[in-house]
């Protein structure tokens, strides 16, 4: 049955204030608004095959994250790719975005976590996986 699904189409993200979150995602990630309603907006990287992000305003924001019960590491559910990992990390810090530690191995590969205005954990990585 898995042959029916070929990629992730959209990642839905709960937000408490649509305008504030749109500003954050557009300025931090460089996404574009594809469509916008009163309480939701579809954002896109304008890159073929890359999922869109659907920001949905809700009074029940439950930030997206989970803790690995084996390592106690807090994980995000969305990992963004950047070839300029260290530059992006320092840019986020300079722009007062909450970031976690920068983890890079000897080969220069790694990542770090950061948060949106609602406390949704996001992460950035410079690791490309098969098919990307």
The answer to whether residues 115 and 98 touch, using CB atoms and an 8 Å cutoff, is yes
Residue 93, pLDDT score? 97
- Residues 6 or more apart in contact with residue 39 via CB below 8 angstroms: 18, 56, 57
Q: Taking the CA atoms of 24, 110, 119 and 96 in sequence, report the sign of the dihedral they define.
A: negative
**Whole-angstrom distance, CA of residue 45 vs CA of residue 58:** 23
Residue 2, pLDDT score? 60
- Residues 6 or more apart in contact with residue 120 via CB below 8 angstroms: 13, 14, 15, 63, 64, 65, 76, 78
Residue 11, pLDDT score? 95
Residue 107, pLDDT score? 94
Residue 8, pLDDT score? 86
1-59 carries CATH number 3.10.180.10: yes
Q: How many residues does the chain have?
A: 132
Q: What is the pTM of this model?
A: 0.90
Q: Give the single-character DSSP code of 78.
A: -
63-132 carries CATH number 3.10.180.10: yes
**Whole-angstrom distance, CA of residue 67 vs CA of residue 123:** 14
**pLDDT profile of the chain (132 residues), mean per 10:** 79 97 97 97 92 95 91 90 96 96 94 95 91 70
Residue 74, pLDDT score? 87
Specify the domain boundaries for CATH 3.10.180.10 within the chain: 1-59, 63-132
């Amino acid at each position: 049955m898995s042959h029916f699904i070929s990629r992730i189409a959209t990642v839905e993200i709960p937000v408490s204030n649509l305008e504030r979150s749109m500003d954050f995602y557009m300025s931090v990630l460089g996404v574009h608004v594809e469509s916008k309603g009163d309480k939701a907006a579809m954002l896109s990287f304008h890159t073929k095959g890359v999922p869109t992000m659907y920001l949905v305003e809700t009074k029940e924001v439950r930030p997206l994250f989970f803790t690995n019960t084996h390592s106690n590491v807090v994980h995000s559910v969305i990992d963004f790719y950047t070839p300029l990992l260290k530059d992006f990390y320092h840019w986020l810090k300079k722009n007062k975005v909450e970031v976690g530690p920068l983890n890079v191995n000897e080969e220069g590969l790694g990542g770090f976590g950061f948060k949106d205005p609602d406390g949704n954990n996001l992460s950035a990585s410079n690791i490309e996986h098969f098919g990307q």
